[in-house]
Structure 1
Amino acid sequence: MKFLILFALVAVAAAGEVKFHDCGHNEITKVEVDGCSGELCTLHKSKPVHLKSTFTANQDTTKIELKITGKLNGIEVAVPGVETDGCKIVKCPLKKGQTVPFEYTFTIPAIVPAVPDTMVTLKAVGDHGVLACASVHNKIEN
């Protein structure tokens, strides 16, 4: 299932396609983040991040658990305050082979430190394991 990766976002201008690392099984076809394009996305604390993506379901599933993490000083840390129930974002259940549009907006919390170089990862987990996973190279600013 190609999954829409949500992260690496800054709501500033029109969405741009960003380069991402697939950490799943090639389920995700593309990732767009407002105000970003290319290899590095600048995210701003306390600002909305709007992500748009498309993925192909790699399994039949009745649930989707979303996990958004960032690497801080080499340690993977969950981004607080983001929705973890993917079925509130896309309509569940999903069927294997189904193309799924994904659109999500969240805010980088003010408590997150400014980081000049990090990877933000979105992982979607279904009933039978990883549904989709992608990482985007970012910097986080005030």
Structure 2
Amino acid sequence: MNFFLPSAIVFLGIVLVGADKIPIHDCGSKLAKITSIDVQPCPTIPCPFKKGSTANVTVEFEASASFTSAESSVHGILGGIPVRFPLKVKDACNNMKCPIKSGDKVLYKNSVAVRKEYPTIGVVVKWEIVTGKDEVLCFTVPVKILS
């Protein structure tokens, strides 16, 4: 067995985690293909989100359909039940350039407040962008809310 290949794979994994690029877990994107997700802060999985801070997300995706408007939503999944994390602005076009045409490469940036009143708990965060009844993109990331 070649020692170099496993070492290179481990090194690549460390580089991706160290750069805060997270593994993509697509949870049903229909109108886009996610190419990368960057969550800050997220040096490890689950992402440690400190109460009273802000979590930032940058998503690069390629649209597979055209749309002129979209909304963002963020939920924490607790025991299978989605609990909404409020966003300052739900209009996703404030966080990316709209209108979007099929084939466009899009950069979406947004943030969510990690409120002090949130419980200290592990949660799966589900982030979605929707247009009408169609889901543009959806991804999940495991998070640990810390004091």
TM-score over 0.5 for the alignment?
yes
Q: What interval of TM-score do these two structures reach, taking the shorter chain for normalisation? A: 0.7 to 0.9
- Equivalent runs, 1:7-46 vs 2, <5 Å: 16-25=20-29, 27-46=33-52
Structure 1 outlier segments of 4+, above 4 Å: none
Distance in 2 (alpha carbons) for counterparts of 1:111 and 1:51: 21
- Is the Cα–Cα contact under 8 Å of residues 63 and 92 in structure 1 kept in the other structure? yes
Structure 2 unaligned segments of length 5 or more: list them: 1-17
Shift in CA distance, 35/69, structure 1 to aligned 2, threshold 3 Å:
same
Corresponding residue pairs, total: 128
> Which residue is equivalent to 1:92?
98
Q: Which has the higher contact order (CA 8 A, sep 6+)?
A: 1
Distance in 1 (alpha carbons) for counterparts of 2:137 and 2:64: 8
Distance in 1 (alpha carbons) for counterparts of 2:55 and 2:21: 14
Counterpart among 118, 136, 139 of residue 134 in structure 1: 139
Task: Give the residue type in structure 1 aligned to 2:128.
Answer: K
| Structure with bigger gyration radius | 2
Distance in 1 (alpha carbons) for counterparts of 2:86 and 2:71: 15
Which has more helix, going by share of residues? 2
> Which residue is equivalent to 1:119?
124
Please give the TM-score of this superposition, normalised by the length of structure 2: 0.77
- Is the Cα–Cα contact under 8 Å of residues 69 and 99 in structure 2 kept in the other structure? yes
- Is the Cα–Cα contact under 8 Å of residues 74 and 87 in structure 2 kept in the other structure? no
Counterpart among 67, 79, 92 of residue 61 in structure 1: 67
- Is the Cα–Cα contact under 8 Å of residues 68 and 82 in structure 1 kept in the other structure? no
